[in-house]
Amino acid sequence: MIFKNILTILFIALFFTSCGSKNTSSKYNYKKDKTFPNKLDYNYQIGNTNNYEHIYKALKIQYKNWKGVRYKYAGNTKNGIDCSAFVQKTFKDRLNINIPRTTKLQAKTGKDISMENIEIGDLIFFKTGYKSRHVGIYLGEGKFLHVSTKKGVTISRLDNPYNMKSFWKIKRVIP
């Protein structure tokens, strides 16, 4: 029993340790950053009531301003932020949409969406452990914006084997 508890504590410590570094460059040019999906590369349309251009620009600005900020459990500033705080802050600051603070509550918000109907701005949830959850924001072209424990605020691909294995569900919170 003690051995199991020690292993659990070690796993949690390793999971929440960040190896990322903060981007301190004020001359960052997101137009040259190939990680963010280029809207010219695909003919993407958001649902009837959503303004694609507004959402795309808002997420791109948020990525530019937060890229590389390190992961910190329960953090919510540029000194360190966790995934659910970043998603909450992005929706509030860039889209003027209030959503809950925790991944658990965010996963209960909005409308369930299938992978076939995913749109830019949808929340993507992952089960990363027995009780651990992770959330990111879909950007299009199979990419999502999130806070990685190793890279901080970054963009990753959904088809990455780890992400595919831990994928849980999609929620739409943009009306």
Place of tokens 């963010």: 36
Active-site choice (72, 146, 151, 171): 146
Residue 95, classed as helix, strand or coil, is helix
Check 134, 143, 151, 172 and give the catalytic one: 134
83 assigned to active site = yes
What is the C-alpha separation between 32 and 42, in angstroms, rounded? 17
Alpha carbon separation from 79 to 69, 74, 148 (Å, rounded): 7, 11, 14
- Burial (CB count <10 Å: 0-12, 13-18, 19+), residue 49: exposed
Residues 70 and 149: their CA atoms lie apart, in Å, by 7
d(CA 166, CA 53): 30
Q: Catalytic: 54?
A: no
Query: Which pair of structure tokens corresponds to residue 64?
Result: 């530019």
Residue 118's φ and ψ, nearest 5 degrees, are -65, 140
Q: Is 121 exposed, middle or buried (0-12, 13-18, 19+ CB in 10 A)?
A: buried
58, 59, 83, 153: the catalytic one is 83
Residues labelled as active-site residues: 83, 134, 146
